[in-house]
Structure 1
Amino acid sequence: MEPRNCSQVLEFLLLGFSREPELQPFLFWLFLSMYLITVIGNLLIILAITSDTHLHIPMYFFLSNLSLSDICLTTTIVPKMLANIQTQNKVISYDTCITQMNFFILFAGFGNFLLAVMAYDRFVAICHPLHYTVIMNPRLCVLMVLVSCILSVLHSLLQSLMVLRLSFCTDLEIPHYFCELNQVVQLACSDTFPNELVMYFTSVLLGVGPLAGILYSYCKIVSSICAISSAQGKYKAFSTCASHLSVVSLFYCTILGVYFSAATTHSSHSSGAASVMYSVVTPMLNPFIYSLKNKDIKRALKRYL
C-alpha cells in the first residue's frame, strides 16, 4: 500500500496497558489518584514557596520550577489516557499526537535541565559558601531557568519537525499509553534514519550532558564534605542536598530502567509500563521527598494550610 503523506488527516490508536475490560476501572482510578496526588502535592509546594518570604532563595526557586514542570508533564499525558480508558476510545488524532509528543519532550527536558541547575546550586552552597549569595544572584538564577526552558523548547521543536517530515501507512497502532517519540517514529513508512540520528545525538548531548554536570557537582560536594572535621557539620552539609540527590537517583534510575527494559525484552508494552515510573510516579513522589526531608518546606506548608 502506498504511504500517505503526513499532511493528510491521520489517526493513531493508543493501545495502553491492557485490553481486558475488567482491568479498565482499576487502571482509571489508579492513574486518576496518582494524577491528583501529583497536581495537589506539587501545587502545594509552589504555593508554600511563593507565600513564605524565607523560602525566596535560589534552591526553592528552582524547586518551584521543578514542581511546575512535573505538573505540566503529567497533565500532558494522563488526562488523555484517562479519557481513553473511560470512553473505551483509543483513537488520538495526528495533530493531538504530535502536540502531546512535543510538550512531553519539552517538560521532560526542562525537568532534566532543572535537576542539573539544582546540582550546581548545591555545589556552590557547599563548596563556596562564602560566595554563595554573590554567585547565585537572582539574575543568574532566572537566566539559568530561562536558558533551560529555551533549550527544551528548541529540542522539542526539532524532534516534532523531524516527525512531521515522515509518512505513515495504515498500521498506526502505538503500543503505549501516550505518543512517545520512538514509538511514533517506528510506525513511519518513510526513511527514519535521520530521525534516529537526531534522537541519538540529542540523547547524548542533552541527556549525558546534564548528568555529567550533576556527577561532577556531587564529586566536588562529597570531597568538600569529607574535608569537614566535625560529624555534625558533615551531616548538616549532606542533609542540604539529600532530597535533591534522592530525586536525581529516582529520575535517572527509572529512565535507565526504561531503556534497558526495552533493549533486553524488545517489548513495547513492558517499555510502556516502565515509562510510568519516570513520567507519572517520579513527579508524584517529588513533593513527598522534598517535604518530608525539609523542615523549611514543612514549616511553610503548615503556615499556608
Structure 2
Amino acid sequence: MREARMNMVQTVEQYRFVHDVLLEALGSRGTFYTSAEFEKTIGSGLTYTRYEEAEMSRQYQSLKAMQQDVDDDAVSAAQLPENRSKNRNQDIVPANNVRPYLSTPVPGHNDYINAVVLPSATRAQGIMATQTPVTPTVVDFWRLVYEHDCFTIVCLEDDKRLYPMMDQVLEMGPFRVTHSTEDTTRDIFSIVQITVTLNEEIDSSRLITVYKLKSRIPGSTEAMLEFVNEIDTKGTSEEHKTLVHCPDGARLCGVFCSILNIISKLRLDKEVDIYLTIRELQCIRPQFIQSYDQYKFCYDMVKEYHRASSVYANM
C-alpha cells in the first residue's frame, strides 16, 4: 500500500489501530448470530457442550489480549492531585475523551467525576457508568445526574448516604434530593422515585427513577432478566441517559451494561454478538467483564431470554 501512497499510516497510534482492527476481526469470527441461529446452534438449555465452552473461553481470552494499558496522558485529569482522592481505585479511571464534564458551580469542586459515557443499543451516548461516590464526591454524583439528564439510575449497590429515606430530604451542595415514592413489591429489585431540585429555582425539579437491585451479579439469570427487561422497556429513553453505578464503576457495571445492550439488541433487531458488544464497551472502560464467569453469564442471559420468550409464546 505504501508503494502507491507513501503517507498512509503515519503514526504509531494509527498502526496500533490497524493492528487492533485485525485482532478484533479475527477474534469476532463466528460470534454473530440472529436470534433464531443462536437458539438453533447453542440452544436455551442450562448446559454447554465442550466445544461451546472452549469457544467462549477463546472469545474471552481474545478480549483480554486486546486490552491495553492506558497512557498517563490519556487519563491526566483523573491523575491530578486534586482528583486522585475522588477515585476509589486508581487503576479504574476514565480517559479524558470519554469522561463527562461537570459545570454546576460548587465551592471546592471542579469538572471531574470518575464516570464514562457509553453507547446503548440505540444511542451513541445513551448510558453513563460511574463508581458509587466516596463521601466528598456525593454532590458530584448529583451534579452528574442533573446536568447530563440522567432520569433513570440503576443502583447495583445501595448506599444510605446517597438516597433519601421515606419522608427524608438530603441537602447536598446546591441540590435538594427528596424521596417521593417507593415500590418494594418485587423480590429482586425496588423502584424509588426521587425529586432533585437545584437551588429551589422555579421549574428546576427533576423526577428521577432509581432501580435498586437486590440480587447479586452474576446470579440468577431469571432474576437478572426481569431486572433488565424492566429497565429496557420502561426506564430507558431516547431523550435521557441511564446512569449505572457500582462500587468501582466497573465490576458490576460492566456485567449489567453488557447484558442491557445485548438484550436490547435482541429485542429490537433479533440479533446478538456478545463478543463485539462487550468489546465496544471495553474500548471505553477496559475493566468491564473481569472474568470468564462474567463473560459466560452474558451467554447464559441470552439463553434465558430465549427460554422466557418460548414460555410466553406457548401461553
Higher strand share: 2
Higher helix share: 1
Q: Same fold (TM over 0.5)?
A: no
TM norm structure 1: 0.29
